[in-house]
Structure 1
Amino acid sequence: MKKKVIALLMSTCMMLGLAAGGTVAAADPDQAGVKKNEVTRTKAGSSDVTLTLAMCGDGTTKESLDKLLAQYTEETGVKVDTIFIASNWGEYCTKIQTMVGGGDDLDCAILAIEGVAKFLDMGIAEPIDDWIAANKEISDAILSDTSPSFQDVFKDDEGNTYAFPFSFNNVVMHFNTSRLEEAGLELPAADWTKDQFLEYCEKLTTEKDGVKQYAVAVPYGEYFCAEAWLYNNGASYMNEDFTESTINSPEAVEVFQLWQDLIYEYGYAPIPEENVSAIAQIINGQVAMGSWGRWPTANYIADDFKDVAIQYLPTFTVNQQIGGVDGIFTLKNSKHIEEAKELAAWMSQADFEGQYLSSGNIPALHSLAQTKISDLGIPENYEIFYLDSNTDIYKPVSAPPQFTECSNIVLTAISDICVNKSDVQETLDNAAEEMNAVLADNK
């Protein structure tokens, strides 16, 4: 069967609070700033029902999540137990499959775009089309306020829907505005070009008190962020049906070569190091620019860092935004299918999302994203985190059923090019050959 085009928020579950720098979310009831949603209610006798919800992460948000879900129990009578699985999305899906196969009680599970194709291939998710049809007022409110391209992520080839969009991230360029001011630069225009980017790099590479200050951090170790650069040059890791790698196309090679040149030819970027955070480098001014989603905002708040602005990535040949989204799935083996669907829908509405999602996520509900991000007020030009986010402006990241294998190949190639200074074309040719062997099952 032809594989559906779907794709990532990041390489690991923890990168959803990320998609890096944190967990999927953190309760924020005092800053929700949203009107309470209508609560979906279960049938009589639901007080005897206990649902189990799986989340991907290290459990740092378990206490806050459980407090919010206590509200659901109070409103519906349905109890909810939560379990957190600390792993990347590929491993997370495998563990869910093992739990289901072993007969564990599991009713709902969060899942990001990286694992959707694999999840659907395993056949353990339950469609929610009947719930959508029976609850049109609520479902229409969610669907009319979320991106059609994100909605498509949670549909199979037959058009069945498995989840509502919950939260997402895009990729933009972050700027240390103090560094811009020192260089006599303003925030670039939304349609800035590769040549203008290189001009900024030249002016932002300086030496201060005997210490070199760099212009930009390359997207090392960032599958999601790296492909965002490729999209802006008409390239990607693979074709749209996930049957063939395109990572060694001329358009892709041009971008990878640029990253290597930024480090070794121009000296505009530092050599990436495993234990050195590029987000910390932009906060302390060692680099002036870096490409991420909204997740560094949590770091900015923790460090009381406000000298930061964002802009779209530079346009090489096209201006294409990337997107990665997650959702709450209902599992086919649930003994309480209807209650599980209602819990997933309740979590997908503004009241819960507004309290749970942290400063590192963008709520999938456009109106909620606008409220929460505007209320926070940083970084400068924050509107591009949610501008037109209820349209189809985002192209999903490449996330085949073999996401884990492919992401490992991509990240190894990036490391070889940016750290080991390997030949770009040869490295990408080898990566394409490895990926093609993995993707052959999709033909």
Structure 2
Amino acid sequence: MKKGLTFLFMCIMGSLLFASGNQEAEEKQAGEPVELSIAVMGNYLGNEMGALKAEFEVENPDLTIEAIHNVAANDWSDYFVKIRTLIAGGDSPDVMYVAIEGAQYLAAKNMAIPLDEYIANDPTFRDDYKDLHPKLQSAFELNGHVYGTVFGWNNVVTHFNLDMLEEVGLDVPSSDWDETEFLKYAKALTREVDGQKVFGFSIPDFYFVTSAWLYNYGASFLNEDMTASALDTPEALAAFQMLYDLVYKYKYAPQPTADTANPIAMFTNGQVAMVLLGRWPLPSWKEADMNFDIQYLPNFGAQKVIFGSGAWVVSSQSKHPEEAYKLAKFLSSEYAQKSALKLDAIPTRISVMDEMLPQYAPENTMLYRESADIASPVQAPEAYPEIAQIFSRYFSLLMADEIAVEDCVLGMHNEINNVLKK
């Protein structure tokens, strides 16, 4: 009897193993490569993705990029919510492009997998990994695990319209310029030109750029370990007071409205002379043939550079995680960065930064490269989407002059703490 049961059990297991192997064989029949999909925000890399797809499939003839999800989103917090909806609906991409703002969120929600297992079995990874700038890569190394390989990054610097500077007899300031010099520039550049008001400065009104503004006051939204709000400081209050005063006291900046809230459009149209942005507006500057240069933010009590990097991560719902790892690695490769990051984002590979940044304007372009060594990451804990929304809501009220600066900062402080306590 025991022999019969043993034989029956072996037959069943053999059938199951055969079926499993048969299924895998069917998925990888000769001439039928494994199909992978990618998710990006909006039309990111739209013009370059075709070339990247073609090269990847040449290097990996057993794999193909079958679909690209262009996720329409207002910002990164909106993007992450929509990615989560895709996954919940059973339409998960295999590989996702994720900004630093979503690294902890995706890891905590188990939406992305650690890549350690695949890295350990990849003999080429170690040498390849050395070229990724360690500070920029660190944002995707959480709790001892690597969740992604970085592709592009951005910081926040001051962009100057050089024609406007020349008109008022100013040069690009030195890297150590301070509040007094900043106000001097903002005042001189605010004037009437051909009957139209031209402003010296554009107010930063989204979380990443406002975080950079806070850093240069020696302030921040959150404490160092991102477990509580850090807005209850004189430095944070001073930072928001200055933003309010630039609009309502000095009148050096326009009130952010539907018509004035786009700093790229205002800078391009000659409506504002100084804006705080990273490298992402360079395609717009190039198209408009802008005469511009960049410098660090003013020292309002501290001088720091912020960074936000983006990486390719593998979805926890991918049916082909090993193959997805190969795709994620390719998309951060030297070839991919050289092909896709001529403008817009800054390459994360040290060799590619050194080679490519000098090829493009502005004159002070290597500021992007040197700032990588001293930059601090944007604060983006698991609750980032909610924190960004809190900031946006209160800052809109402040810029509409519907709330006092003290009430704005205190309100953000209390609500952020409530979110982080959950």
Instruction: Show the counterpart of 2:141.
Output: 155
Q: Determine the structure 2 residue equivalent to 1:109.
A: 96
The offset of 1:208, in angstroms, is 2.5
Cα displacement string for residues 101-123 of structure 1 (whole angstroms, at most 9, x for unaligned residues): 44445321111111111100111
Match of 1:18 in 2: none
Q: Deviations over 1:316-360 (max 9, x none)?
A: 222111001110111233222221111111111110121123511
Query: Which residue of structure 2 lines up, in the alignment, with residue 89 of structure 1?
Result: 76
Q: Which residue of 1 aligns with 2:420?
A: 439
Partner amino acid, structure 2, of 1:262: L
Give the one of 267, 286, 295 matched to 1:301: 286
Contact 1:51–1:340 (CA under 8 A) maintained in structure 2: no
* Pairing partner for 2:366 from 383, 407, 411: 383
- Give the aligned partner of residue 311 of structure 1: 295
Which has the higher mean CA deviation after the structures are superposed, 67-76 or 88-97?
88-97
From 163, 170, 189, give the equivalent of 1:204.
189
Q: Select the residue among 112, 122, 129 that pairs with 1:125.
A: 112
1:388 CA displacement = 5.2
Instruction: Specify which of 179, 182, 187 is matched with residue 194 of structure 1.
Output: 179
What secondary structure does 1:96 align onto? Answer: helix
Task: Sort the Cα spacing of 1:90 and 1:265 in 2 relative to 1 into closer, same or farther, 3 A.
Answer: closer
Say whether residues 1:144 and 2:127 are aligned partners. Answer: no
Give the conservation status (yes or no) of the 8 Å contact 1:171–1:321: yes
Separation in 2, partners of 1:366, 1:68 = 20
Which residue is 1:20 aligned to?
none
Contact 2:190–2:199 at 8 Å: present in 1 too? yes
> Which residue of the partner structure matches residue 403 of structure 1?
384
Match of 2:251 among 267, 273, 280: 267
- 2:307 pairs with 1:323: yes
Shift of 1:398: 1.5
Q: Which residue of 2 aligns with 1:24?
A: none
Q: CA RMSD in A?
A: 2.1
Cα deviation code 1:40-90 (max 9, x no counterpart):
xxxx97853434333223347446413421221122111112222112433
Secondary structure in 2 matching 1:189: coil
With the length of structure 2 as denominator, give the TM-score of the two structures: 0.87
* 3-state SS in 2 of match to 1:301: helix
* Greater mean alpha carbon deviation, residues 48-57 or residues 317-326: 48-57
Q: What percent identity do the matched residue pairs reach?
A: 34
Partner residue in 2 for 1:242? 226
8 Å CA contact 2:214–2:239 kept in 1: the answer is yes
Q: CA deviation at 1:240?
A: 2.6
> How many Å apart are 1:183 and its aligned residue?
1.3
Question: Helix, strand or coil: the match of 1:326?
Answer: strand
Equivalent position to 1:177, from 162, 176, 199: 162
Q: Please tell me the residue identity of whatever aligns with 2:316.
A: K
Normalising by structure 1, report the TM-score: 0.83
61-70 or 279-288, which moves further after superposition? 61-70
Superimposed CA distance per residue, residues 138-195 of structure 1 (whole angstroms, 9 cap, x where no aligned partner) = 4433x323332322211222x1101111101000000011111111111111111111
Give 1:303's aligned amino acid: A
The aligned counterpart of 1:68 is 52
Report if aligned partners of 1:47, 1:79 keep a CA contact under 8 Å in 2. no
Contact 1:417-1:427 at 8 Å conserved across structures: yes
Matches within 5 A, 1:221-370: 222-276=206-260, 277-305=262-290, 307-357=291-341, 359-370=343-354
Equivalents in 2 of 1:99, 1:205: separation in Å? 47
CA 47–337 in structure 1, closer or farther in 2 if over 3 Å, else same: farther
Aligned to 1:423: 404
SS in 1 for 2:158: strand
Which of the two has higher C-alpha Rg? 2
Shift of 1:249: 2.0
User: Measured at CA, do residues 47 and 130 of structure 1 come closer, stay the same or move farther in structure 2, by a change above 3 Å?
Assistant: farther
Judged with a 3 Å threshold, the aligned counterparts in structure 2 of structure 1 residues 140 and 131 are, in CA distance, closer, same or farther, namely farther
After superposing the two structures, state which structure 1 stretch, 49-58 or 109-118, moved more: 49-58
Provide closer, same or farther for how the CA distance between residues 129 and 260 of structure 1 changes in structure 2, counting only shifts above 3 A. same
TM-aligned CA deviation for residue 257 of structure 1 = 0.4
Tell me, yes or no, if the aligned pair for 1:52 and 1:105 is still in contact at 8 Å: no
More divergent stretch after superposition (167-176 vs 197-206): 197-206
Identify the range of structure 1 (348-357 vs 95-104) with the bigger mean alpha-carbon deviation.
Answer: 95-104
SS at match of 2:284: helix
For residue 386 of structure 1, give the secondary structure of its aligned residue in structure 2: helix
How far 1:92 sits from its partner (Å)?
Answer: 3.1
Point out the more displaced range, 271-280 or 56-65. 56-65
Report if aligned partners of 1:248, 1:425 keep a CA contact under 8 Å in 2: no
Aligned counterparts of 2:183 and 2:278: Cα–Cα separation in 1: 22
Question: What's the offset of the Cα at 1:373?
Answer: 2.5
**Higher RCO structure (Cα 8 Å, ≥6 apart):** 1
Report the Cα distance in structure 2 between the residues aligned to 1:371 and 1:417, rounded to whole angstroms.
Answer: 43
What SS class does the counterpart of residue 124 from structure 1 fall into? coil
Structure 1 unaligned blocks of 5 or more: 1-43
Aligned pairs for 1:30-49 within 5 A: 48-49=32-33
Distance 1:236-1:136 versus aligned 2 partners, 3 A rule: farther
Distance in 1, matches of 2:183 and 2:110, equals: 48
Partner letter of residue 145 of structure 1? D
Query: Tell me, what secondary structure is at the counterpart of 1:190?
Result: coil
SS at match of 1:140: helix
Paired with 1:118 and 1:67, the residues of 2 have a C-alpha distance of 31
Cα distance in structure 2, aligned partners of 1:97 and 1:179: 45
**Within 1, Cα distance between the matches of 2:306 and 2:44?**
28
Supply the AA of the counterpart residue of 1:348.
Answer: S
